[in-house]
A and B are shown apart, each in its own frame.
Chain A
Amino acid sequence: MERRLFLRCLGCGATATLLAQTELLPRALGGVQNACAFDYTKKLSSVEAWYYVKREGGGIECRLCPRRCVVTDLERGYCGVRETRGDIYYTLVYGLPCSLNIDPIEKKPLYHFYPGTTAFSLATAGCNANCKFCQNWEISQTRPEQTDNIDLPPQTIVDICNHRKVPSIAYTYSEPIIFFEYMYDTAKLGHEKGIRSVMITGGYIEKEPLKDLLQHLDAVKVDLKAIREQYYKDIVNAELKPVLDALVEIKRTGVWLEIVYLVVPTLNDSEEEFVELARWIKTNLGTDTPVHFSKFYPQYLLKNLPPTPTGTLEMARNICRAEGLEYVYLGNVPGHPAESTYCPKCNEVVIARRGYTILQVNLNNCRCSNCNNEIPGLF
């Protein structure tokens, strides 16, 4: 089993790189029988949105995310992809992704979820936050009429995955919560056809839609941007509390969960914050929840700060491990030993990684080959 995993890995790395570098994906996918021609479209969808209530006196209140936008006729919510027409609320991005790729699952990053496999990754325009460091702002901070979109209904995605033997679909890059209906239908259909779904999210979502969605998801990676409310207010333009609630809910349902924390110099990189973070995770999610500390690079609205020193990331990792967290990784530092998974019992490498490539897998039925300790996750 582990050998097959290793081979799968090499294959996926090559495919993803080729597709990404040559931008061949639309053409490559276009060869699939019954797949659409992947012409870019300027049309917007008019599918009625879910989770909203009509307000007395006009307009609606969106109950998809804690922002709870009140939106009147011809106006849009904060995310820019939902619009009221009359007293009906519509999603404008159903079936209209603007970004597609086949990525290694490690790129999400999900390290304990079928390592070495690929995920058909997609995003629409829009986001319900506005992180000042966003690396995908060109799609997340725009409206769907400003992006080149592709007509891609859920059925076509699932057909492509089956045809290309891609085992998972990843809703990622921007903020999938804002294309909820599209994600939900695709994930549901995927499950019916044996394709898994993973969501890469900021976790700023209301409880009811989250519960409904989790029934059709296999893994979630949450970007926990900080452990302080003030940071969420100043840098993210959202709130921390609902994200923490979402993390607890995901863990409670048993859907596989990993956390990424982007360490931004001077803004969320103090020792106290790392201690607080570790303790919160330990108490509320358990020590076996993987945490990835990721290196920040200056971009979008935070160009005035330097990249995160690797030493700061190492400090964060050391603090979390000292507090008892068992799987703490460093991201955006290719070649660092902390990209690999170590058995918390015997300290042996159970999955060796370099970048998105798996170098070695020492697992036997989800247990460390050396000491037989169970490693959490889906392998």
Chain B
Amino acid sequence: MSKVVVVKNAGIRPVKKLAVDQYRLLLETGLGALFDRKPASAALSTMFPGGVVGMKTNCLTRKLNSTPKSLTDAISEMLEDSGIKANNVVVWERTNRELADAGFELNASSFGRRCMGTDTNGLGYGRTFYNSGEVNSLISRILTDVIDRNINIPVLKDHSIAGLSGGLKNMYGAIHNPNKYHIPNCNPHAAHISNLEPIRKKNRLTIIDAIRVQYNSGPGFDSRYLEYFGGILLSTDPVAVDRVGLEILEHCRLMNKLPALEQVGRPVKYLKSADAIGLGMERFEEIDLQVLAVDENGAARPGELF
């Protein structure tokens, strides 16, 4: 059974974004629950026993609604606590410009945590085409050559074509030709992109940021459609975690009197396709969902999804 942990912030509601410490509290609880091990650094060292760990962000919307630097900083700290050297932590995205615009400090040197786009000099996309279904793509050399394992860290939001932008959709940012794979509703392409061999093999963990959910008019930022959910989602199953994310997205739409995604022509069928090719679990009832609420002191108790 696929396990998904949702950790909600039951402490002080942040004005805008969570700080590094606040994310750390959520991550400590979430990772501990996901791997049934405490402290989280012990869980992480089992999952990432060395080598170079990547963190694929989603920086499409600059500082407005991209993967927050405070979240990747919190994860980096924890990875370092678990024994990973700072220089073996790589925050990455398609381009350096996207990372810089989202507030990240670029660093491709051999000192300190690294942060770089695929367009960094000497990187780019590999020369081997990988195939799954109709998808034929070159893959970012950050994923194929630089890192050994990857943590996928998207932001939960609506997407004008895919319906849901979560973990699977975020891997469009790892291939050279994402524009070829959007119609219809990114199905089955979103499933097949994550099924490309290097992506499937290296993606070990998905952590979706769902502090503020943009439930409509995505993937660009639109302040009219933001809902405070206040949580993060964690799983080693890339499909199950998206499926729970979809539940949250649809709930936010319902609360704001918007029709379900299917009714507006954006059914999220690619999760079923992903399940069909064995990438993960799409059936909500078969997902082992654990919801926890964490107060400002880090004390956790069972919580409700909504």
Contact = CB atoms under 8 A, between A and B. Distances in A.
Contacts of B2: none
A292 interface: no
A101 to B, nearest CB: 23
A301 B136 contact: yes
Interface string A353-376: 000000000000000000000000
B60 A80 contact: no
Contacts of A301: 129, 136
Interface stretch (A69-77, A185-193, A251-259): A69-77
Interface string B264-285: 0000000000000000000000
B177 A142 contact: yes
B160 interface: yes
B182 A72 contact: no
A244 interface: no
A143 B220 contact: no
Contact of A74 (B124, B129, B179, B220): B220
Interface in B7-31: none
Given A59-B160, A145-B95, A146-B125, A76 B119 contact: no
A78 B183 contact: yes
A141 B220 contact: no
Given A58-B217, A74-B60, A74-B220, A145 B119 contact: yes
A145 B160 CA distance: 23
B231 interface: no
A325 interface: no
Contact of A76 (B95, B125, B179, B222): B179
Interface string A271-313: 0000000000000000000000000000001000000000000
B54 to A, nearest CB: 20
B68 interface: no
B219 interface: yes
Contacts of A77: 179
A141 B136 CA distance: 11
Contacts of A73: 217, 219-222
A294 B18 CA distance: 61
B129 A143 contact: no
Contacts of A145: 95, 119
B37 interface: no
Nearest to B179: A80
A130 interface: yes
A237 B189 CA distance: 14
Interface string A140-156: 01110110000000000
A308 B153 CA distance: 47
Q: Secondary structure of the B side of the interface?
A: loop
A262 interface: no
B87 interface: no
A79 interface: yes
Contacts of A80: 177, 179-180
Contacts of B129: 301
Contacts of B60: 74
Contacts of A74: 60-61, 219-220
A142 B176 contact: yes
A79 B178 CA distance: 10
A144 to B, nearest CB: 11
Contacts of A72: 160-161, 217, 219-220
Interface in B213-244: 217, 219-222
Contacts of A76: 179
Given A59-B160, A146-B125, A301-B129, A75 B176 contact: no
Interface centre among B119, B161, B179 (most CB of A within 10 A): B179
A88 to B, nearest CB: 12
A301 B135 CA distance: 11
Given A59-B160, A146-B125, A301-B129, A75 B219 contact: yes
Contacts of B219: 72-75
A78 B180 contact: yes
B95 A75 contact: no
A73 B60 CA distance: 10
Interface in A104-139: 130
A74 B161 CA distance: 13
Nearest to B61: A74
Nearest to B62: A74
A142 B221 CA distance: 26
Interface string A46-89: 00000000000011000000000110111111111000000000
B159 to A, nearest CB: 9
B176 A146 contact: yes
Interface in B147-163: 160-161
Interface of B: 60-61, 95, 119, 124-125, 129, 136, 160-161, 176-177, 179-180, 182-183, 217, 219-222
10 contacts: A69-B183, A70-B161, A72-B219, A73-B217, A73-B219, A75-B160, A75-B220, A78-B180, A80-B179, A141-B176
Interface of A: 42, 58-59, 69-70, 72-80, 130, 141-143, 145-146, 237, 301
Given A74-B219, A79-B179, A301-B129, 11 more contacts: A42-B119, A59-B160, A70-B160, A72-B160, A72-B161, A74-B61, A75-B219, A75-B220, A78-B179, A141-B180, A237-B180
